[in-house]
Amino acid sequence: MTESNESQAWSARHSSELYGIEEWGGGYFGVSPEGEVVVRSPSNGQAGATVSLMDIAHGLQQRGLEMPVLLRLENLVDSRISILNESFAQAMETTGYQGCYRGAFPIKVNQQSHIVAEIARFGERYNHGLEAGSKAELMIALSTLQNRESLIICNGYKDAEFIDLGLQARKLGFKCFFVLETPAEVPLIIERSRALGVDPLIGARLKLSTKVEGHWSEDSGDRSLFGLTAIQLVEVVDSLREAGLLHCFQLLHFHLGSQIPNIRSIRAGVFEACRYYIDLVAEGAPLGYMDLGGGLAIDYDGTCSTSGHSRNYSVQEYCVDVVEAIQQALDPHDIEHPVIVTESGRATVAHTSVLLFNILDVGHFDPAPLPEALPEDSHAQLANLWHAIRVIAANNLQESYNDVTYYRDQIRDMFHRGEISLRERAFGENLYLAGLQKIAALLPELKRIPAELETLPQQLADIYYGNFSVFQSLPDSWAIEQVFPVMPIHRLNEKPTRQAIIADLTCDCDGKLDRFAGPHGNTETLSVHPVKASEEYYLGVFLVGAYQETLGDLHNLFGDTNVASIRINNEGGMEFVHELHGDSIADVLSYVEYDPQAMFKQFRATAEQAVRDGRITVSDRQEMLAAFTDSLRGYTYFER
């Protein structure tokens, strides 16, 4: 079958399988028969409406929001909260658990105001609360939550002002818990509660010995940074009893780490925490809440495995295992089932955001067409390289690779010594590329690929230059090698015939995506389509709703992207709920302590001096000043 026929036989289903969208998409994303990525609106288990990301992209551009754009899908925020709460409710009903569930979204995971507001609004029906790790986040919680049954969990180190804010929240009727990180916080909480005349709600964070897998495994075990040891926990109990506040100790907290891939680790941690719970009740602490912290993972790569980018369990299994473990531990001691609290952030918001961007240019490693015969006056080393390429066959790939590399190196050395010309070197480099491409094309015929040749296809992959900044929009892909699903959002009924890595605009060697999620594990290149000169080519990076906005930095002074929030209605239409233009150049300059007005005045003075020196005309000056002003107001990213 020819390549043309293969392309014709390619369908959207093949693309869906190639990129694994049904595995990592959580049921929210798919590929339409027209070859476009679609968003599915959750609809209580029914087939909800779908909207094409290409339609959304066009709608954004019509509203003046150019690429790159961070797209937020409000329906998915609602869905994730619903799934978590209803899964716990179903697990409790099935097992006969006598307590209830309360969620608390950690604000640090996505601090954007309308995201937190949406969580509070939709979560109100479930009494879903917020977790605050700083004074600023506590102020967000106090000004956002309306439901007094929703919990506010205060983690992190707390000074007097932080504690006073929480105690004032208690006066307002909020269930605001102080989770003790160290015994040193106890005297301050006692002092401020007496000063304000209000009993605090107190929790304690355990330092469990249970170890977990994954990138954040150091958050667990004896050497974890946070939490109270058994010795410190006894000190806390004694201090609270002595102060007459042991009745305030109502919550036991632990956090094994973010993105825990193995459900067995979670279950082991719950069992260990229950042992503490049992003995603290025996000590007289009226515990009624068990807070598991975060850790509920999502499947970034679609492998449903214990890799750091996946998990071997569903939300439903997570809930059942937590509920059963607590029941099995506490029932033999006739201890009342506590309210189960989780601070699930990643699992709540990761699916809700997609980074959309366009491809600006492509760098190829394809050779230019070779002449039918080697030019007669060619240097001997060029003739050697020419001959080495012509004899490449499946039975000599390693030898051929050694030969073409050797002759290429000889040609480079001769150029450095001035023995051959630039044109001769360029011809030699082109011959070398032709040899590598011929070797790479024959690799599939081998039963065992030599180790040195295994990465050859990656070395020859294209570089697709994307209109975005890794450091601003996908910092975890650079900092901790987080894998995010990446794929084209259109042309998916065409066979993607190129392999590429994705480079960003920062001109930094780390500003790239070269790890991609796939149905059979991670890959170092992405299957993409050849870019057509007459049309834009769009990619999407999915599952980026957790942490990425907050952690983004101003590398090369690329600022926040344009942002849009949409809601899909039942008829398959979309409402543009929220639009926010990204940072202008003036914005990002001010972030690093430049004064845009002062910069304009200095540039104007420079231009005026050029007029006086006769370098430019007054008309030139005006055009330059207008261009400078337009640039200050312009988008930090590439604009066509």
Q: Is 197 exposed, middle or buried (0-12, 13-18, 19+ CB in 10 A)?
A: exposed
100 included as an active-site residue:
no
Report which secondary-structure segment, H or E, holds 415.
helix 397-416
Question: Of 116, 39, 46, which is closest to residue 351 (Cα–Cα)?
Answer: 39
Contact of 314 with 277, CB cutoff 8 Å: no
CATH number of 354-364+460-565+572-585: 2.40.37.10
Cite the DSSP H helix spans in 467-535.
Answer: 470-473, 475-479
Question: Of 469, 478, 504, which is closest to residue 588 (Cα–Cα)?
Answer: 469
Instruction: Give CA–CA dist 308/327, Å, rounded.
Output: 29
Give the model's pLDDT for residue 222.
59
Of 176, 304, 319, 507, which residue is the catalytic one?
Answer: 507
Give the model's pLDDT for residue 386.
95
Strand boundaries in 200-304, DSSP class E:
201-205, 249-253, 289-291
Q: How many residues does the chain have?
A: 640
Question: Which residue reads 């929480």 in tokens?
Answer: 166
Q: For residue 139, how many C-alpha atoms fall within 13 Å in the half-sphere facing its CB?
A: 5
Domain 74-350 in CATH 3.40.50.300 = no
Contact of 290 with 252, CB cutoff 8 Å: yes
User: Which residues does the chain have with pLDDT short of 50?
Assistant: 1, 3, 45
Q: Helix or strand or coil: residue 551?
A: helix
Q: Give the CATH number of domain 380-456; options: 3.40.50.920, 1.20.58.930, 3.30.465.10, 3.40.630.30.
A: 1.20.58.930
Give the model's pLDDT for residue 219.
57
Question: Of 277, 281, 282, which is closest to residue 326 (Cα–Cα)?
Answer: 277
Read off the tokens for 92. 């409790």
Give the model's pLDDT for residue 255.
92
The three-point CA angle 46-49-55 to 5° equals 160
Helices and strands in the chain: count of H runs, count of E runs: 23, 21
Q: Helix or strand or coil: residue 385?
A: helix
Q: What is the DSSP letter of 539?
A: E
Q: How far is residue 584 CA from its own chain's centroid?
A: 24
Give the model's pLDDT for residue 1.
43
